[in-house]
Amino acid sequence: MSDNILVNIIKWLTGAALCVPLVFSVYFYPSHIAPQTFLFRLIVEAMLFAYLVLVLRNSAYAPKFSPMLWAVAVFIGAQALAGAFGVDPIQSFFSDFERHWGFVTIIHFFAFFVIVSAVVREERSWRWLLAVSVGASFLSAGYGVYQFFFEDIGRIYSTIGNAGFFATYLLLNAALALWLALGAFFARPWRFAFGGIALVNAVVAMLTSTRAAMLALAAGIFVIGCGYIFWYEYKTKRLKMVLATLLVVFVLVGGAVLALAHTGFGAKIGISRLAIFSLSDVTTRTRLFAWQAGWKGFLDAPLLGAGPENFKVVFNKYFDSGFYAYEIGETEFDRAHNIFIEQLSTGGAIGFIAYGTLFAVFLYLVWSGQRTGALSAHASIILAAFAVAYGVQGFFNMDTFTSFLPLFLVFGYVAARTTHTSEEHPHVPNAAQGSLTFSFAAVALIVFFALAYVGWAVNIHPARADRALSDADDLRQRIGEMDQSDVLGAATAAYRRALDLSTYGKGTVQKSLAAYALGFYQTFGRRSPQAFSDEFLPFSMRELEIYIQQHPRDYLAHSTLGKLYNVQLLLTAKKDEQIERMLAQAQTLAPERLEMPLVFAQRALIEGDYNAAAAHADEGIAKSKKFLDFYRVAFIAYSLQGNEDKAFRALDEGVHNGLSLVSEKEMGWLAQQYERRGMEEEAEKWYARAAEVAQ
C-alpha cells in the first residue's frame, strides 16, 4: 500500500467525520448526540490506524511541534490533570449517556487535529474539506427550514438536536462558507454558491431564536468589516466606502430586526425571543445563578477546579434557593452555559489558562500567517472573526461536538498552513517502505488490534447499551399507555439488558431506571401490581444505591433515592437504615436546595410525625414560596394535627402562589374554609371547581 493511498484514505475519513452532524436516530439516547459521537470516534480511530501505518512507512508525516499543536496538547493535558484530581474522575474521563463528552471524546478531537494537520498539506485538499463541512451544514440548515415551516416543534434544531447548538454550528460554517466565497480557489459559480450558503446559514441560525447566535453573528460581522477596512491591503478608497456602508447597513438592519421582534409579526415568525435582553428574563436569571455558583466553585478549588463534567457538583454545592423563583422544573445545571465559567469551575486556573491559550495562539498564528504569506488576507480576517464569534456565543453556551468539530478543523488548518507551507508532498524513505517487512507487519497488526479493542470498549459496546436504554426510555415515556403488568415486565427486561451491556453509561441507565419507578408509581399509585413493590421497586433502589456509591456527590440522585424510599415506606412500611444514613448526609452536598428537605417532610408524614413534617414544610416555604409541594405537606400535616387555621393558611397561600389542586376533596375543603371566613366569591369559585372535577 503506497503513501498516497493512505493519505487519501485519511482525507476521505476526514470528510466523513465532517458529515457526522447529519446523522441522528431515534433509536439512540439522546437521538442526536449519541450516534454522532459514537460514529465520530470510530472514524477517528480508523484515521488513527491509517495514520500510524503511514508514519511507520514515512516519518515525514510525523507531527511537527508547532505552536498550535503545543497549545492543543497543553489544553488536553490540563483536562486530563483536572479530571484525575477532580471530585469524580470517572465522570470526568467517560462522561455519561446524557452528554457523551468527557476526556474520552476530547482526546479523539486531539487525535483528529493531529492527523489532519500532519497529513492534509495541500491548499486544494483543505479547501475541499472546508467545502464538505459547509455542505453538511447547508443540508442541516435545509432540514431546519423544513422544521420551521412544516413541523410544530417550537424552536428548530434540525439534525443537531438543540436549537442553540444548531445555531452555533450554522454560524461557524457560515464563516467558512464566506471564506470559500471570497477565495480564488473555486470557480465563480461555486463561489456564488458558497456566498449563498453563508447567507442561508446565518438566516436559519436566526430562526432558532438563539440570542447567543445573534450576538455572535453581530460580533463576527463587525470583526470582518473592521478587518477589511483597517487590515486588508488590496483595497481602494471606494472599497473602503462600500465596506463602511455595509457596516452601517448591518447596524440599521439589526436595529430593525430587534424592533420587529417586539411586534406580533416577530412573534409569528419566531424571532421575538431575540429581543429579550433583560436581567429579569428566566433564562438570564437562571444562568446568572449558575455563573455565580461556578465562580464560587473556582474560588473553592482555584488550581484544578472540580474536574471536567462535574459542574453539577459545583452548581448544587453553591445553589441559591432564589433560583426556584424563576424555574422549578429544570433545576440541575450540568453545564455552566458559559465556556469561560465552565473552564474556571471545572478546570481551575490551569484549565482556564490552557483554554484561553488555544485561542490566543490561534489568533497570533492567524495574524503572523498573513504577514508571512502562509495565510491569505481573506483567511486571516475571517478566521479572526470565526474565533471572536465562537467566544461570544460561548459566553452563553457550551462546548459541544458540533462546535468543536469546525473549531478543531480550523485549528488543524492553521497548524498545517503555518508549519508545512513549503512541504506539501513529503517523502522520507524508510526501511519499511520498500517492502512489507515482518516487523512492520507485526507493529501494524498490534496497532490494529489495540485500536479495535478501543473502538469496541468506548463505542460499539456502549452503543449497544445506549440502544437498549433508548428502548427502556421509550417505555418510560409511555407508562400510561400500556397494561400495568405488561409495561412493568417489558421495562424490567429492557433495563436489565441495558445494565448488562453498560460500560461508562451505566449511571445514566440506573438514574433512568429510578425515574421509571417513580413515574410508574405516580401513574398507578396504590393500584400498582404486587410485582412493583416486591421486585421492580427494590431493583431500582438497589441500582441507584450502586450509582450513588460510585458517584457520591450527585445530590439529585440522593433525592430520587429518597423519593423511592418514601414509596417503599408507603407500600411496604419496610425501613432501611443504610439508605437513611445515605440520605441524612445528602443535604451537606447542597445546603440551599430543597429537594431533600421535601423528601424528609414527606417521610415524616408517612411515619405519622406531623410536627416534624410541618416543621420541614415551614422551613422550605420560608426559603422559597415557589417550591409548591411544601404547601401541600404543610396543609396535610396541620390538617392531621387538627389545626384548621394553619392548614387553611398553607393551602390558601399555596394556591395563590400557583399550587394546583386536583382533588375534589381538597377543593371542597378549601371552599368551606373560605365560606366560614365570609369570603363568598372565593368559596363559590372553589365549589364550582370541585363540582367540575366531580363530573
Per-residue pLDDT of 229-250, as tens digits, reads 787 776 566 666 666 766 676 6
pLDDT attached to residue 136: 98
Quickly tell me which residue has 472599497 as its cell: 239
What is the DSSP code (8-state) at residue 659? -
pLDDT attached to residue 439: 79
Contact (CB, 8 A) for 505 and 96: yes
pLDDT range class, residue 431, cuts 50, 70, 90? very low
* Lowest-confidence region among 254-268, 450-464, 617-631, 659-673: 254-268
**What is the rounded average pLDDT for all residues in the chain?**
90
Helix (H, G, I), strand (E, B) or coil at 677: coil
Residues in the chain: 695
Q: Which long-range contacts (CB under 8 A, 24 or more apart) does 578-583 make?
A: 578/545, 579/541, 579/545, 582/545, 582/548, 582/558, 583/558
Ordered DSSP codes for 3-58: HHHHHHHHHHHHHHHHTGGG---TTSSSTTHHHHHHHHHHHHHHHHHHHHHHHHH-
Quickly tell me which residue has 476530547 as its cell: 106
Residue type (1 letter), 10? I
The per-residue pLDDT for range 546-604, each reduced to its tens digit, is 999 999 999 999 999 999 999 999 999 999 999 999 999 999 999 999 999 999 999 99
For the chain, the distance separating the N- and C-terminal CA atoms, rounded to the nearest angstrom, is: 79
Averaged pLDDT, 41-67: 94
The per-residue pLDDT for range 587-597, each reduced to its tens digit, is 999 999 999 99
Domain 467-593: state its class. Answer: mainly alpha
pLDDT attached to residue 235: 59
Residue type (1 letter), 571? L
Q: Which three cell numbers stand for residue 548?
A: 450513588
pLDDT range class, residue 512, cuts 50, 70, 90? very high
Contact (CB, 8 A) for 351 and 362: no
Closest C-alpha to 270, from 143, 152, 131, 119: 152
Contact (CB, 8 A) for 89 and 103: no
Residues 6+ apart with CB under 8 A from 493: none
Averaged pLDDT, 370-382: 90
* Lowest-confidence region among 276-290, 365-379, 419-433: 419-433
Contact (CB, 8 A) for 593 and 319: yes
Ordered DSSP codes for 428-483: ---HHHHS--HHHHHHHHHHHHHHHHHHIIIIIHHHHHHHHHHHHHHHHHTGGGS-
Residues 6+ apart with CB under 8 A from 280: none
Residue 30: asked if its preceding bond is cis (omega within 30°), the reply is: yes
CA dihedral for 372, 374, 380, 383, sign (positive or negative): negative
Ordered DSSP codes for 529-559: -HHIIIIIHHHHHHHHHHHHHHSTT-HHHHH
Residue intervals of the chain classified under CATH 1.25.40 are 467-593
Burial class (CB in 10 A: 0-12, 13-18, 19+), 95: buried
pLDDT at 502 over 80: no
Q: Which three cell numbers stand for residue 208?
A: 432558532
pLDDT attached to residue 359: 98
pLDDT attached to residue 270: 54
Ordered DSSP codes for 473-532: HHHHHTGGGS-HHHHHHHHHHHHHHHHHH-STTHHHHHHHHHHHHHHHHHHHGGGS-HHI
Burial class (CB in 10 A: 0-12, 13-18, 19+), 142: middle
The per-residue pLDDT for range 608-654, each reduced to its tens digit, is 999 999 999 999 999 999 999 999 999 999 999 999 999 999 999 99
Could you give the CA distance from residue 624 to residue 275 in angstroms, rounded to a whole number? Answer: 30
Residue 38 C-alpha from the chain's centroid: 16
Helix (H, G, I), strand (E, B) or coil at 206: helix
Could you give the CA distance from residue 220 to residue 223 in angstroms, rounded to a whole number? Answer: 5
Averaged pLDDT, 243-270: 64
pLDDT range class, residue 655, cuts 50, 70, 90? very high
Q: Widest CA span of the chain, in angstroms?
A: 101
Closest C-alpha to 310, from 567, 130, 99, 474: 99
Averaged pLDDT, 477-489: 80
Percentage of residues in the chain having pLDDT higher than 90: 72
* Secondary structure of 273-340 as H, E, C letters: HHHCCCCCCHHHHHHHHHHHHHHHHHHHCCCCCCCCCCHHHHHHHCCCHHHHHCCCCCCCCCCCCCHH
Q: How far is CA 434 from CA 1, 76, 426, 437, 457, in A?
A: 11, 36, 16, 9, 35
